[in-house]
């Protein structure tokens, strides 16, 4: 039986309300604040200290003990260093997925269960567990599945798609059946108005409010290179480093009738290939090569292993609609995603996340996306449209 639960308390309304819901149900609750970023070098640029104060205040209001754990060194090694390496290779990483995989649902999860000796971990994520949001069904010995929450707009299963499957067996999601508006209303009722009014953090935590290009230049040296028209091969401009650009981004090059967008980056030659027009064929893909998936659903994993293919649904950005797809595995153990409809700006380094109608099945890092084939007429039209005005 589960009695003792560690809650990851962030200083936000979601984790605080999660702690309240657990205490209300009679669990012994311990709040733990994770420090993942060293602010000694980033004075005034990150909200970490303010978040800690909010976490301390919320736990006092709730009568919950709060402790801290420091993962600054581990975060730098497992998340931030990988983030920088990927950008230098022309990739666009997702540090939120890496943080959940390596820090929150690995190091922190093990700390709570093994070092502190608690029975389970709870978080303020908008997600559901098939064993119950409070692990009511843990005695069934069934495998836990990561289910889509009631609030599909706030759905955070995308960011949890890379976590170890084992961690789900001991993870509670108290907000799984709540809408965000209900969470804020409940916070006000229990005396947490301060958090209910707090502005939600968005974007990459260690970047803070800074312009991303300014931030990344502190860690990666600028290196000038050409923008090449992907159709004609002509130089249409210059950039200051491939790490400052991502696939699908508008380049804002002057003197062209149609805007150019990043289609592909080549790290070896420091070249960015650009395509004329928002929906140029070079920006659209249906075939995607991915790494071996991290599976959260053993049934889906077995289907793919036994039959060589799996019908499921796909997204690579958490706010975008799901697209039907076929995931297949070749005899050489390579994985291919074939989309039923083309998507724009599928980006190497990001994650393909797979779903069925009710659950997140797992994820795989995107290696490459193959653009749809364009006709000669399309190529000629693109070149003609971008004659210098």
- Asked if residue 242 and residue 195 are part of one domain, the reply reads no
Give 376's Cβ-side CA count (13 Å radius): 0
What pLDDT does residue 213 have? 75
Average pLDDT over residues 254-279: 94
Query: In the structure encoding, which two tokens stand for residue 247, read together?
Result: 């696939």
Annotated catalytic residues are 99, 205
264 found inside a domain: yes
- Asked if residue 251 and residue 358 are part of one domain, the reply reads no
355 found inside a domain: yes
- Asked if residue 356 and residue 273 are part of one domain, the reply reads no
Tens digit of each residue's pLDDT (9 = 90 or more) over 115-158: 999 999 999 999 999 999 999 999 888 999 999 999 999 999 99
- Asked if residue 363 and residue 327 are part of one domain, the reply reads yes
Tens digit of each residue's pLDDT (9 = 90 or more) over 65-95: 999 999 999 999 999 999 999 999 999 999 9
- List the CATH number of the domain containing 171: 3.40.50.620
- Asked if residue 237 and residue 105 are part of one domain, the reply reads no
- List the CATH number of the domain containing 247: 2.30.30.280
338 found inside a domain: yes
- List the CATH number of the domain containing 328: 2.40.30.10
What pLDDT does residue 332 have? 83
What pLDDT does residue 252 have? 86
151 found inside a domain: yes
CB 82 within 8 A of CB 75: no
Q: Share the mean pLDDT of the chain.
A: 91
Rg (CA), the chain: 23
- Asked if residue 163 and residue 53 are part of one domain, the reply reads yes
63 found inside a domain: yes
Alpha-carbon torsion angle 297, 288, 262, 90, nearest 10: 70
Domain count, the chain: 3
Question: What is the pTM assigned to this prediction?
Answer: 0.91
Tens digit of each residue's pLDDT (9 = 90 or more) over 7-17: 999 999 999 99
Full domain range(s) for residue 260 = 223-278
257 found inside a domain: yes
Burial grade of 243 (CB within 10 A; 0-12, 13-18, 19 or more): buried
387 found inside a domain: no
What pLDDT does residue 254 have? 82
216 found inside a domain: no
Angle among Cα 55, 57, 63 to the nearest 5 degrees reads 100
- Asked if residue 305 and residue 248 are part of one domain, the reply reads no
Higher-confidence position of 71 and 40:
71
Q: Would the pLDDT of 216 be above 90? A: no
Q: Would the pLDDT of 366 be above 70? A: yes
Nearest to 109, CA basis, from 12, 11, 6: 6
- Asked if residue 238 and residue 299 are part of one domain, the reply reads no
């Amino acid at each position: 039986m589960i009695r003792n639960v560690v809650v990851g308390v962030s200083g936000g309304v979601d984790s605080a309300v999660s702690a309240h819901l657990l205490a209300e149900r009679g669990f012994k609750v311990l709040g733990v604040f994770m420090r993942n970023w060293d602010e000694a070098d980033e004075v005034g640029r990150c909200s970490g200290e303010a978040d800690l104060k909010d976490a301390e205040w919320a736990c006092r209001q709730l009568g919950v003990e709060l402790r801290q754990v420091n993962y600054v060194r581990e975060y730098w090694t497992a998340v931030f260093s990988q983030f920088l390496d990927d950008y230098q290779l022309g990739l666009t990483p997702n540090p939120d997925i890496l943080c959940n995989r390596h820090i929150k649902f690995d190091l922190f999860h093990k700390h709570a269960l093994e070092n502190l000796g608690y029975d389970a971990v709870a978080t303020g994520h908008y997600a559901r567990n098939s064993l119950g949001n409070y692990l009511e069904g843990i005695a069934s010995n069934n495998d836990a599945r990561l289910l889509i929450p009631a609030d599909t707009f706030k759905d955070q299963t995308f960011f949890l798609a890379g976590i170890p499957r084992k961690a789900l067996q001991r993870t509670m999601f108290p907000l799984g059946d709540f809408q965000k508006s209900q969470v804020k209303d409940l916070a006000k009722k229990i005396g947490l108005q301060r958090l209910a009014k707090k502005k939600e953090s968005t974007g990459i935590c260690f970047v803070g409010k800074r312009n991303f290009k300014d931030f990344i230049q502190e860690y990666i040296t600028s290196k000038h290179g050409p923008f090449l028209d992907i159709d004609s091969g002509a130089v249409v401009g210059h950039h200051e480093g491939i790490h400052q650009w991502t696939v699908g981004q508008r380049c804002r090059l002057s003197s062209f009738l149609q805007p150019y967008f990043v289609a592909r980056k080549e790290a070896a030659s420091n070249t960015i290939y650009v395509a004329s027009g928002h929906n140029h064929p070079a920006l659209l893909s249906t075939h995607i090569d991915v790494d071996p998936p991290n599976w959260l659903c053993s049934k889906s994993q077995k289907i793919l292993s036994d039959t060589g293919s799996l019908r499921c649904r796909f997204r690579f950005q958490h706010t975008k609609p799901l697209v039907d797809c076929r995931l297949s595995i070749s005899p050489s153990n390579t994985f291919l995603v074939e989309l039923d409809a083309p998507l724009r700006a599928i980006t190497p380094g990001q994650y393909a996340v797979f779903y069925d109608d009710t659950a997140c099945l797992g994820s795989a890092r995107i290696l490459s996306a193959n653009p749809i084939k364009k006709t000669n007429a399309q190529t000629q039209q693109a070149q003609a449209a971008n004659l210098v005005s």
